[in-house]
Amino acid sequence: MITVHKVGKLANPVTYERAWRRAQRYLFPLPLRPIVAGLDQDYLGRPFEPMPQLLAIAEYITKTLAICMVCGDPANHTQRLVASRDRVLVGADDMYEARCRHCFDPTLGTVEKPKC
Ligand SMILES: [Zn+2]
């Protein structure tokens, strides 16, 4: 039986390998079809773990695109609007927006403004 404590451990894994071992132990024996959602790229457009590994073992994949906030085309990038080198930066509408491949600028989120 899976408990709330075990679900919490699955939702907040320390590493991909640990999450995989936990999923094999607690989720795979259950008669369920897990559904996973998440970003597949980081703010620089690099594969965002563990999505590449999950996509490789998925039985079905539905890739949903947003609308580019600049030109209105289908968008598959997350444009970071504030400068930070942290790979994960939790934020709201003022920190990220959807961009298409033509409007996406990965350097925009890496250049810090000089402090005056
Ligand atoms: Zn665009």
Over its length of 116 residues, how does the chain's per-residue pLDDT go in tens digits? 555 555 555 556 567 778 778 878 887 888 988 888 888 999 999 998 888 888 888 889 999 999 999 999 999 999 999 888 888 888 777 899 999 999 999 888 776 655 55
Cα separation, 18 vs 75, whole angstroms: 32
**DSSP three-state, residue 78:** strand
CA of residue 104 to ligand 1 center, whole Å: 7
CA 105 from centre of chain: 18
CA of residue 55 to ligand 1 center, whole Å: 25
CA of residue 85 to ligand 1 center, whole Å: 23
* Residue list, CB under 5 A from ion ligand 1: 68, 70-71, 73, 100, 103
Q: In the CATH scheme, what architecture does the domain 35-116 have?
A: 2-Layer Sandwich (3.30)
Give the CA angle between residues 60, 29, 15 to the nearest 5°: 70
Ordered by start, the domain boundaries in the chain are 35-116
Whole-prediction pTM value? Answer: 0.68
CA of residue 63 to ligand 1 center, whole Å: 18
**Contact of 116 with 87, CB cutoff 8 Å:** no
